[in-house]
Chains A and B, each alone.
Chain A
């Protein structure tokens, strides 16, 4: 290997054989090179008079954007047989100073398997642990699935808006369904547990109706929440899950709404907690409050007594909602 000053115009920026990075133009790198210059030379492969980037896609692109006409680089020559070793070098170059994004991890494994012919056994035993993944065949299968995603779904995943489990669910859908669900997800923000709930409810409602999930999302009651511009993405997410729950479990949802309404009508202060079995499997109610002194205790007890005199209390024990 030798160091050279390479004209940028002789570098084939389109050849992504050894590319690992997802984001090729990070602003911070541009600033760093502008301020401090290129601290670590790239590695390029010379073949047929052109240079292929092995390590340093982002550095060289940044130099180009800064108006540089050349860049220092280490040059390697190869007949092609040592491409896997060169890719390994690119991988270690990245791992030495950062963690890979999930899509980048998937890209690495995909290239090792499909572009460089690495057997699954080697990928599973050597590379998965190196990339911080469980070393089994299912883990490898999931990574191939991640790499195969594209468009909105890929973008959502890349931005951390989708868990791996959600990505798997989406990849199992027909394209039309996937597009509609990804579009809805793009308008919402869902925690990991809400994503699980969202997909579960969607799947069940679609199965009951004998349709695809996109038809469930087209229900006016659901789309009204998903498309409500007055809500934040998180509120839309919670609202959409609540609406799907209401559609999937109408009686339970109605019972909860009636309970909440009855409880409000008792006029109890917020410091008095009155709760029921979450699924009303028993009619039992639980009453709790905290009192720091006798005076407060008497006040809260008086509020509870007043509530006990209201006729709405009887309704709290009856939630027949057939």
Chain B
């Protein structure tokens, strides 16, 4: 995997006194560092508006995030909501997969890291304490890769033990990376799921060239499994192309031939979907990619998706292959309509609460 080494570091004045800042700078000796005012930071609020990623995100910004770290997943409110929460402490990603929606979601050409981690933890603690009878599944991989920058930030060293102490909180570290070294020896108490975004071999090579190979990711997953972590996989995005069946079937076999299926708590499936403006961005930034030329139609949530029968067929087949390898893993669809759930999984949306209960139980599994 291509490690992240920023060309310059901008530090918000208020962040200078934070431990996180000191630790990151210690890990970047010789970096060009500049202190900036809060107004400069505000003008590049990483969580707002569309924009283009700069190649490699060469500027790292260390800042105190003033907003709310914890939010309901953007797919919440869908017909089959899995009741997931996202926790944002890093924004943007240097892996630059061709299909990545961060290209159109984030306003800024920088990679931003929050340094006020105590505030984040306080918010999580307070939210979970208000509903002690409820399970919260919380992931840090929505607007960034959960572990790609971990060698620099060391966030897992803080968050994993933190969640280990929360009776009703479960952390998901969703990643494409193999940066798992910090997870060794942590007392996670089975409150952390480490999950990998995976894809077919050809897609990994053509659309995720800066990320570790599928084999490297699985090696990391196997190691985490051996350290006692629960494991998850996310086939997202699933791409439809000539030969997809053989390639994805092979990927499923490879995954469950590498890790112990019993350690896999969940597998999600999501066909490629994206806001319409992303198509032109992909065409401009990655002219060799064939992704923009799929048979996409406007779907719900305003996103372009593969024509529904294509998705349903892919999901039905993926489900059957995964069930054959890991019958106990919860397999679910991400951000899909009721119709697709019913036609590909045979599940009625009336059973939506059962979905998030299943996922909660999987998270709590000892």
Contacts and interface: CB of A to CB of B under 8 A. Distances in A.
A251 B295 contact: yes
Given A204-B293, A252-B297, A280 B313 contact: no
A321 B310 CA distance: 8
Contacts of A208: 290, 293
Contact of A322 (B283, B297, B300, B309): B309
Contacts of B8: none
A249 interface: yes
B295 A249 contact: yes
Interface in B261-318: 283, 290, 292-293, 295, 297-300, 305, 307-310, 312-313
A282 B309 contact: no
Contact of A319 (B290, B299, B309): B309
B339 A252 contact: no
B298 A279 contact: yes
B337 interface: yes
Contact of B337 (A204, A207, A249, A282): A282
Contacts of B337: 281-282
Contact of B309 (A204, A248, A321): A321
Interface string A173-184: 000000000000
Nearest to A253: B295
B313 A322 contact: yes
Interface residues on B, range: 10 to 19
Interface in A300-315: none
A116 to B, nearest CB: 36
A283 interface: yes
A204 B292 CA distance: 8
Interface string A243-256: 00000111110010
Interface in A245-296: 248-252, 255, 279-283
| Chief secondary structure at chain B's binding surface | helix
A282 B307 contact: no
Contacts of B298: 279, 281
A319 B283 CA distance: 31
B308 A281 contact: yes
Given A252-B297, A320-B309, A322-B309, A282 B290 contact: no
Contacts of A320: 309, 312
A265 to B, nearest CB: 21
Contacts of B290: 207-208
A56 B220 CA distance: 81
Contacts of A204: 292-293
B309 A251 contact: yes
A250 B313 contact: no
A281 B309 contact: no
Nearest to A203: B283
A281 B313 contact: no
Contact of B295 (A250, A280, A281, A319): A250
Contacts of A282: 337, 339
Contacts of A251: 295, 307, 309-310
B343 to A, nearest CB: 9
**Residue of A208, A249, A252, A281 with most chain B CB atoms under a 10 A cut-off:** A281
Nearest to B289: A207
A119 B194 CA distance: 61
Q: By CB atoms of chain A within 10 A, which of B293, B300, B308, B337 has the most?
A: B308
Interface string A195-222: 0000000001001100000000000000
Given A249-B295, A251-B310, A283-B339, 12 more contacts: A248-B295, A250-B295, A251-B309, A252-B295, A252-B307, A279-B298, A281-B308, A281-B337, A281-B339, A282-B339, A319-B309, A322-B310
21 contacts: A249-B297, A249-B307, A251-B307, A255-B307, A255-B309, A279-B297, A279-B298, A279-B308, A280-B308, A281-B299, A281-B300, A281-B305, A281-B308, A281-B337, A281-B339, A282-B337, A282-B339, A320-B312, A321-B309, A322-B310, A322-B313
